């Protein structure tokens, strides 16, 4: 058991724990998602991130419901996020899509529902012409129906956020985007914070993550001694330093792990502080490298990067 993460207040007054468990995996053994969710909550996590496109909502929900039944936490103590996929962007599709997610999760509401990407696709996988402002109206209906406490977006750029802010009634509380030491995203983060949108870091470990051999040959943050020295000084790992760096920039993180010791490690980041020069060392690894470039959508009009 590790101490629970502190929370941040969203612009609508709700509280969100600043560390959550990510649950995306290219493949998983049966039971692996639910076990990770159960372990995480037992360890002290109170924030779980999933998406309809991860095809794991049943298992994630199974883990959540099991641990509630065990009496470890109540539903109200948890913060659960899921996301609307690109093929359900029509305004009238949003509430039905969320109801399907809730049925799979076996929950009556989520805490946060996100538009996963700013572009929409048709059944052939081509870009559809649905404007994300129309999708957003469907998101607002989901709040009114009590199916989600808060709504936000993911992978939106500044221009796209600007439109949602100016053309909507309910404001997005978060923008979930890739941020890590090799993709520091200072400009987008500053924009979000200035506009009371919490930036959430996905793929927060970036190139540090040990399970990404495809990134070999890029600036090797896994072995560079400077980061090793910072980690050793605090008795922490490189991954913990990367997560702590994000937290000190007021950026909540959602690291994914199926490994119990790493799930534990990724929450154990609140008993040390990086000083200014250590923050600058981590920041110095920036090479604007995207682990999730979503290049297959790069020709779309609403591709954000």
Ligand X SMILES: NC(=O)C1=CN([C@@H]2O[C@H](COP(=O)(O)OP(=O)(O)OC[C@H]3O[C@@H](n4cnc5c(N)ncnc54)[C@H](OP(=O)(O)O)[C@@H]3O)[C@@H](O)[C@H]2O)C=CC1
Q: Using the rule CB under 6 A, is 209 a contact of ligand X?
A: yes
Q: Using the rule CB under 6 A, is 113 a contact of ligand NHF?
A: no
Q: Which residues pair with 240 in a beta bridge?
A: none
Q: Using the rule CB under 6 A, is 25 a contact of ligand NHF?
A: no
Least distance between ligand X and beta carbon 125 (Å): 17
The window from 60-68, 70-78, 182-190, 253-261 that contacts ligand X (CB under 6 A) reads 253-261
Q: Using the rule CB under 6 A, is 92 a contact of ligand X?
A: no
Say how far residue 186 (Cα) sits from the centre of its chain.
Answer: 17
Identify the CA nearest to 50 among candidates 5, 102, 118. Answer: 102
The window from 128-136, 183-191, 249-257, 274-282 that contacts ligand X (CB under 6 A) reads 249-257
Distance CA 103, CA 52 (A): 11
Which of residues 166 and 244 has its CB atom nearest to ligand X in the complex?
A: 244
Q: Show Cβ contacts of residue 149 under 8 Å, excluding neighbours closer than 6 positions.
A: 14, 109, 110, 111, 112, 143
The window from 21-29, 59-67, 92-100, 186-194 that contacts ligand X (CB under 6 A) reads 21-29
Q: Using the rule CB under 6 A, is 95 a contact of ligand X?
A: no
Beta carbons of 228 and 238 less than 8 angstroms apart: yes
Q: Is 45 a catalytic residue?
A: no
Q: Using the rule CB under 6 A, is 220 a contact of ligand X?
A: no
Least distance between ligand NHF and beta carbon 292 (Å): 4
Catalytic residue among 54, 113, 202, 303: 54
Distance CA 124, CA 117 (A): 17
Residues 266-305 that bind ligand NHF (CB under 6 A): 292, 294
**Known binding positions:** 116
Q: Which residues pair with 81 in a beta bridge?
A: 49, 112
Out of 56, 86, 265, 302, the only residue in the binding site for ligand X (CB under 6 A) is 265
Beta carbons of 188 and 153 less than 8 angstroms apart: no
Out of 34, 175, 203, 264, the only residue in the binding site for ligand X (CB under 6 A) is 203
Out of 67, 254, 269, 281, the only residue in the binding site for ligand X (CB under 6 A) is 254
Q: Using the rule CB under 6 A, is 60 a contact of ligand X?
A: no
The window from 18-26, 136-144, 191-199, 269-277 that contacts ligand X (CB under 6 A) reads 18-26
Q: Using the rule CB under 6 A, is 145 a contact of ligand X?
A: no
Distance CA 25, CA 197 (A): 27
Q: Using the rule CB under 6 A, is 39 a contact of ligand X?
A: no
Q: For helices 132-144 and 158-167, what crossing angle results, to 10°?
A: 50
Instruction: Identify what 101 binds: ligand NHF, ligand X, none; CB under 5 to 8 Å per kind.
Output: none
Instruction: Identify what 115 binds: ligand NHF, ligand X, none; CB under 5 to 8 Å per kind.
Output: none
Q: Which residues bind ligand X (CB under 6 A)?
A: 22-24, 49, 116, 154-155, 176, 202-206, 209-211, 237, 239, 254-259, 262, 265-266, 292
Catalytic sites, residue numbers: 54
Q: Which residues bind ligand NHF (CB under 6 A)?
A: 24, 51, 292, 294
């Amino acid at each position: 058991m590790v101490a629970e993460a502190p929370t941040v207040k969203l612009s609508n007054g709700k509280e969100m724990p600043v560390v959550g468990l990510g649950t995306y995996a290219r493949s998983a053994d049966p039971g692996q998602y639910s076990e990770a969710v159960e372990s995480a909550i037992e360890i002290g996590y109170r924030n779980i991130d999933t998406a309809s496109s991860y095809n794991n909502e049943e298992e994630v929900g199974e883990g959540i419901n099991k641990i509630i039944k065990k009496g470890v936490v109540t539903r109200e103590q948890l913060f659960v996020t899921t996301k609307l996929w690109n093929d359900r962007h029509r305004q009238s599709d949003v509430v039905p899509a969320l109801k399907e997610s809730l049925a799979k999760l076996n929950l009556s509401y989520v805490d946060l529902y996100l538009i996963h990407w700013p572009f929409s696709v048709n059944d052939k996988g081509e870009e559809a012409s649905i404007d994300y402002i129309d999708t957003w109206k469907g998101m607002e209906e989901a709040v009114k129906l009590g199916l989600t406490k808060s709504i936000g977006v993911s992978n939106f750029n500044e221009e796209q956020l600007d439109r949602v802010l100016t053309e909507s009634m309910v404001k997005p509380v978060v923008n979930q985007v890739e941020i890590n030491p090799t993709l520091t995203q200072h400009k987008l983060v500053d924009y979000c914070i200035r506009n009371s949108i919490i930036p959430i870091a996905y793929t927060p470990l970036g190139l540090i993550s040990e399970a990404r051999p495809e990134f070999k040959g890029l600036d090797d943050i896994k072995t560079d001694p400077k980061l090793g020295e910072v980690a050793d000084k605090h008795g922490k790992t490189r991954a913990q330093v990367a997560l702590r760096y994000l937290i000190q920039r007021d950026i909540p993180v959602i690291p994914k792990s199926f490994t119990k010791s790493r799930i534990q490690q990724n929450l154990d980041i609140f008993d040390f502080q990086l000083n200014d020069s250590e923050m600058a060392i981590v920041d110095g690894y920036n090479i604007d490298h995207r682990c999730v470039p979503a290049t297959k959508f790069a020709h779309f009009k609403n591709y954000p990067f």
